[in-house]
Structures are given as C-alpha cells and as structure tokens.
Structure 1
Amino acid sequence: MRRSLPALLAASALLFAACGGSGEAETTTTGAPPSSLAAATTTAATTTSAPDATTTTTLVPGSPSPLNGLPVDDPDLLDRRVMAVKVDNHWNARPQSGLQEADAVVEILVEGGLTRLIALFHQSDSAYVGPVRSVRPTDSAMLAPLGAPLVFSGGQDWIQSLAVTRGISLIGEGTAGLFRMSHRWAPHNLYANTTDARGTADERGYDDEFDGPLYAIAAWQEDPPASANSITLDWGPGHKVTWTYDDGLYYRAEGTQAHNWVDRAGQGDQLAFEVLVVIAGRQYVAYPPPGGKSSVPAIETLGTGRLLIFAHGKVLEGTWERDAVDEAFRLFDGEGNPVTVPPGIPWISVFPQQQPLVWE
C-alpha cells in the first residue's frame, strides 16, 4: 500500500515517538569485538543536489524533502521512489561525479580502511553518477527504511541475496541507465543515469513509492553550544577525511587534498555539504553462508550507538537507536531527549566506533 507522504513527515516531526519493532531481527555472524572502543559501545539487537561550493541553502515555501528537509517545488516528486547509486571512493575513482546533485550521500566502510559512497536521489536526478561499484552488507542495512533500488556493479552472490532479503531491488550493468566511459580504466569507469535507471525500475515493476525517511528532520530551536569547525574521521590505515566549516558549508578533504567532484563536461569544485551526520557502530566481520566466498567488514546499525550531528559550525552529541533494518533511526541527545537533524543536504557517515573522530 502506498504510504501518505504528509503522514510520514508528520511522524518525522514527532521524532518517531511511536516507532516500534515492525521488522524481524536478523541473525548475523560477527567477529570478535574490538578490545577498546572510541566512545560508545553498540549493543546489537540481534542474536549474534548538493549545494554549490559557494552558496548556502535558503529555505523557501514548499514541501520538505524527507531526505534533507529542504523545500521541493513539485510535491509529486516526493511520492516516488528513492534511487540509490553505489559510488567508488578509491583514489583512482576520484574525482567522482553526481555526488553534488544528490539529495543525500551515505559513506560506508569497506576493505582496508577504504570507503564507498551511496548517492541518494529522490526529488533530484543525475545523468552522470559514478564511478559505480559493488554492493556490501551495510548498503542494504541503510537503504531498507527507504525502500530504494540500488544501482550497482556487482558483488558476491551472498551479499546480493542479503540485499534482496532486506527488500532492496538491484539494478546492475547491462541495463538501461549504466554505461562505461573510455577516459578511465575499469573498474573505475562505470557510470549511471538515474532517470534511465528509474525507467528500468518501472519496466521491472519495482514499487515507485517512498517508504520512509532515515531519521527525523526538523530545524533546531537553538544551536548546541559546542563549536566544531574542523572534523577529522580516521576510517583506517592511511585514510583520514577532514571536513572544514566555512560560511554554512562543510568542505571535504581526503588526507591533505581537497575532495572534488567533476561533471561530464569536466567542470568541478570541492565537495561541500550543509549537514554531517555520524552513525557510529561496532565494526564486525560479515561471513558468507556455507558455500559463499569471502567475508567482508560491516558496521552494526541495529541496537544503539554513538551519534554526532554537525551543523551551523556546531556539534550535537548523543545516541541512535534502531530495532530492525527497515526502521528509521531514533535519535537522542546526551540526556536521552529526542533530537532531530536540521534541514540541509546531509553527508551521513556510518563510522566504525573504535576509530578516532576528533573536532575543534
């Protein structure tokens, strides 16, 4: 049944106070937890377009996007499906394309301390997103509340099966919406057109509905007192990401180099976002079932864990809670009061809690 978007947004404004465990808990085989944790310990509830680099967003009348809280002129766009595109973040894949047009971006850990990205398109679309790469277990855990089809370039069979089990439809190479570019070497040369990928989803009969937001979005009544103008996330060996706040935007750097985007015409700029959300969870090893291939790192997003929200040059510290992968995250401050993420294009980091994260 198609859900009413106004009802969903009203529920968001109420901070998901009535959210219950509507989904079934999953059984996940995990590796041993780290001996020391950076801040909060995750308790698993299981048995085992981005703004221009020189502008800020001005709120004007319109229906608010459930992905970022910003007004949308055409409310019909908010009742359609979210499209997700898995984007490479290897150094040979930079600068990427399409991230600057996304309604939200999610960053997840993969092997060797590297990360990959999920660009989310709801009211927006992009004709040039990529490079596109393969699926990982944490992808479907983050996409399940949205019910978003994932545009991807492959992955182990057991990980694809896990995504399908969680309700994620997959759109891979060889379908309308994906194409390779000759100016880059494989595997960093597959790109996507989200409008064409929507057409593929239509042809396959995938639901063209918006399932629900990732978390509650509403303006803060007042900013937190603590400032945060420079934020560094240490994802693993040799991979530090720094965000620097300036005039309403957080500018991203990989190591000491600005992290840029580029469009198909070769024009580009530094990636900059209005809101940073950190969902910190326990890192574990996701093992394949018997007959599967190799294990991969993943981040626990069920139970509870540390939350950080950076906006307006300030930081709010708290915790997140979630009981099932198809539920939204419930967010709380350090005293246990429900909180929201303020409007603005967000970059959401699903971060290993044992790794250093500092700001000043």
Structure 2
Amino acid sequence: MAACGGSGGANTSPPPDGRVPSDARVLAVKIDNVAAARPPTGLDKADIVYVEQVEAGLSRILAVYASAVPSVVGPVRSARETDLELLRQFDRPTLAYSGAQSRLDPLIEAAPLNALSPSEAPDAYFRSDDRAAPHNLYLRPGNIPHAPSGRNAAEDIGLRFGPPPSGGKPADEHTVRYPSARFAFTWSTDRQKWLVEMDGTPSRTADGQRLAAATVVVQQVTVRPSVFKDRWGNTSPYTETVGSGPAVVLRDGKAYDTEWRRDTAASRTSFTTPDGKRMTFASGQTWIVYAAR
C-alpha cells in the first residue's frame, strides 16, 4: 500500500509539523491482526476495540483511545473504506494508519477526521527489528502529541455504563467466525472479564498480559464487496455500520439480545434491549465485533 496523502481535504490536514489539533481528543489506530503481527502492543489500553473483516476473510482491528494513551501502539497497518463511516460517530478523531490505496486517498482527505500516516508525521512512527515488514510499523502517540483525556471514548458515541439490565442468559463463551479468522470470548469469574482468543490461541499483549474485555458486542451487519481491491486482486469487503439489526452484548457472564440502530453516518449507534431501554455496558474496555448476517 502506498502511504496516504490524507492532508488535501478542507480542514482535514494536521499542522505542518505533524501534530494533531489541540482539541483532538480521540485517537484511532488501525492495527494489524494476522498471526505474523501478534502479539499487539498497547491494545490493552484502548477504550474500544473494533474488529472488522478485510480481504481474504481475515480480520483487522481499529483501536480507539482517549482515557489512556500508551507510549507505543502497533503494529500499524493500512486504512479501509469501512473505517471512514465507522469513525463519523466521533468528533474529528485522529486516524493513525500506515497508508491506503491511492483510490481511497480522496475519501480519506474528505472525511471529517485528522488523517495521520507516516508521510504526515514521520517522527511518530518507527520500524521494529523484532519482526518482518509489513508487520513491524509502530506509532509513538507522544510524538504527535496525543495526550490522554481521562474520559472513555465510548462516551463520545453515547454508550452508557452502569449496572446490567434485567434479563440476559448465562453465558461462558461466545465465538465469532470469519472465513479465515476466529474470535472466542470466554468469561473469567476470577477477572470478571471476557478473555480473548484469536484463531484458537489465547490473545496476549507484547508484555504477556492476557487481553480481556469488560463488554463484548457482536453486531450483526451487512458485509458487501466494495469497489476497492488489494494488491493481489482480492476485493475489499465493506462493512455497513449505518442501519439496524440484532446484536448480542456480553457482560458479567451473561448474553443480552439487543437491537442496534444508526440512522445516518453522522449518527451514533444505539443499543436497546427488547423492552426498548438503552443497553448498559460494564465499565472497562469494550470490544465491538462486526459479524456478517
């Protein structure tokens, strides 16, 4: 992928020194998720972890930071068209990514976000020598700079934290399958969190800590072919995050059937229980996994 020139749109470019605007609060980082890219660095500090399907049935992660920003995040990979619609829920977030297809550049430039690829902030990225390219590009958020706010980014999109609603069914495991990837979430009574597995292997951070989520949302969406292809000719899937449909919310060892709704790209996504009340989320990291219906 060529590095993206994401600074050509009106009011979308960062300042000339590669820093983000002083009022930018949310940092989104596109993270590689194939086996050669694991374990990730800094993923455990994200407020929200989005999982989406990409070419060849594989997965990629979009990690969103606000309350805490780690010193290093990665490995960083390229953006997809899906990310632009997804991130419209936030107020001009910064998107850190390795680059994008040249045909996608104009859409990134026009999007209401601060696009930050290595070409725009070379001092914020580095290549590690402990793994092979392209799985070795990392971001130093402090060189942007992007300071933590102390407020969970999930609040920016209207997610509500609090005690669990009534109902729900006891659950100790839930699996989501893509054509070439698999995620499993197992409830840990000791940690009071959902332990993450990828492709049958326990997921850990670079320092050996087990990845775990307080809440997991499995959101049923339409996944259709886009007009873009990767360098090998594989069609890039597009995940539609505007619309409505069923979702399962996992929290506190239970599974809650909910309905998600997002009327326009400028709207936030709401999650409601069958009785029409807003779904509440457990305090901590939230994983939102987009599953094709």
Mapping 1:58-207, distance limit 5 Å: 80-146=24-90, 147-174=92-119, 175=121, 176-198=123-145
Q: Match of 1:163, as an amino acid?
A: I
Q: Match of 2:205, as an amino acid?
A: W
User: Any gaps of 5 or more consecutive residues in structure 2?
Assistant: 1-22, 148-152
Residues in 2 aligned to 1:168 and 1:133: alpha-carbon distance in whole angstroms: 17
Cα deviation, 1:117-159, whole Å, max 9, x if unaligned, reads 1111112111111110000111122211112111000111232
Name the structure 2 match of 1:245. Answer: 187
- 1:133–1:153 CA contact under 8 A, matched in 2: yes
Residues in 2 aligned to 1:211 and 1:183: alpha-carbon distance in whole angstroms: 33
Question: Given the two structures, how large is their TM-score scaled by the length of structure 2?
Answer: 0.81
Coordinate RMSD, CA, aligned: 2.4
Name the structure 2 match of 1:255. Answer: 199
How far has the Cα of 1:165 moved from its partner?
2.7
Name the structure 1 match of 2:271. Answer: 331
How far has the Cα of 1:258 moved from its partner?
0.9
How far has the Cα of 1:82 moved from its partner?
0.4
Name the structure 2 match of 1:277. Answer: 217
Name the structure 1 match of 2:170. Answer: 227
Aligned length: 258
Cα deviation, 1:63-105, whole Å, max 9, x if unaligned, reads xxxxxxxxxxxxxxxx751011110001100111110122221
Residues in 1 aligned to 2:48 and 2:224: alpha-carbon distance in whole angstroms: 25
Cα deviation, 1:201-254, whole Å, max 9, x if unaligned, reads xxxxxxxxx8972233131354533011101001113x2211110121111112
Name the structure 1 match of 2:13. Answer: none
Q: Secondary structure at the match of 1:144?
A: helix
How far has the Cα of 1:288 moved from its partner?
4.7
Q: Secondary structure at the match of 1:157?
A: coil
Cα deviation, 1:256-283, whole Å, max 9, x if unaligned, reads 2111111xxxx31221111111222111
Deviates more, 1:163-172 or 1:121-130: 163-172
Q: Match of 1:236, as an amino acid?
A: P
Residues in 2 aligned to 1:164 and 1:317: alpha-carbon distance in whole angstroms: 38
Change in Cα spacing, 1:349 to 1:330, as seen in structure 2 (3 Å) is same
Larger radius of gyration: 1
Q: Match of 2:57, as an amino acid?
A: G
Name the structure 2 match of 1:20. Answer: none
Residues in 2 aligned to 1:326 and 1:137: alpha-carbon distance in whole angstroms: 16
Cα deviation, 1:269-313, whole Å, max 9, x if unaligned, reads 221111111222111111159xxx974101111111222211001
Q: Match of 1:143, as an amino acid?
A: L
Mapping 1:310-329, distance limit 5 Å: 310-329=250-269
User: Any gaps of 5 or more consecutive residues in structure 1?
Assistant: 1-78, 201-209, 354-360
Give % identity.
27
How far has the Cα of 1:330 moved from its partner?
1.8
Question: Given the two structures, how large is their TM-score scaled by the length of structure 1?
Answer: 0.67
Residues in 2 aligned to 1:349 and 1:114: alpha-carbon distance in whole angstroms: 13
Q: Match of 1:345, as an amino acid?
A: Q
Change in Cα spacing, 1:275 to 1:211, as seen in structure 2 (3 Å) is closer
